[in-house]
Amino acid sequence: MDTGYEAIMENVYPSKETDIIQRWSLSETSIGLGIVLAMYLLLVLKILPNYMKDRQPYDLKSILTKYNAFQVVSSVYVVYLYARYIVRYGIITTRCPKGEDLQGVITEIYPYFIAKHLDLLDTIFFVLRKKDSQVTFLHLYHHTAMVSWTWLHLMYHPTDHFVVVGLLNSFVHVLMYAYYGIASMGPEYQKYVWWKKHLTKVQLVQFVLVVSHLHYQQKLTPCPLPSFFHYFCVISIGSFFFLFLKFYFQSYSAKRTDSNKDRVDGVRKCECNIKRD
């Protein structure tokens, strides 16, 4: 544990109260996190692909419908929890909870912590359905970074600094899993998910708001995060922004260009037909 963190803990949490809250050290957190990520990556990059190599894709329509519905409901619940906290204590929290008060904060971190681990099932479903094109670097990086963040948050440095971050991210997940749920119901429901590309725009706005909030929360709080943890969060979210922006342009600008090309080709064909006539 770095000295800066020890100094913060000494000033913010009196010794008699730190005994109430059990925390993991950074090394313990890193070991636990490493085991979870190693199991996840080994499963989705090696074990399951080898298992599915000579098999037909699984039809998981019923499971996916239930899974996405559960994700929407659980994300709405987290939005409610964190919106209630913000109403009580403000968007920039400066209260430095300790003792039993901190235990209450930790209790409300758990739903988000669990949610980020449940999100890993997305990749497993992709592999079982042989949707290998969906298992991209962006997908894997996003999931592993979010799980890493929640482990550091809950196990190493529990705090209420991330309430706004959790609210924004959970709100986006309400929209995202609603989209996945509708899309998984079959081709006849595709007309109801016309707003897919706008979902990426919402995600990009989310990242800007999150980085802005992290900056001012760290600057204004009397109990700042350890520097490495703060910059890990800021750099991770910043990298998400640029990767999602790249994905947006590759996905939608390319389609727009192809559409324009098809339109021009169509006009040329018409002109040729007119000249022949």
Catalytic residue among 139, 142, 157, 161: 142
Radius of gyration of the CA atoms of the chain, in A = 23
Contact 218, 98 (CB under 8 A): no
**Which alpha helices (DSSP H) does 43-60 contain, by range?**
48-52
At residue 237, what is the residue type? I
- Closest Cα to residue 142, out of 153, 154, 134? 134
Q: Strand, helix or coil at 120? A: coil
CA distance 262 to 264: 5
**Catalytic site includes residue 215:** no
Q: How many Å apart are CA 123 and CA 213, to the nearest integer?
A: 29
Could you give the CA distance from residue 276 to residue 11 in angstroms, rounded to a whole number? 87
Q: Which residues are catalytic?
A: 142
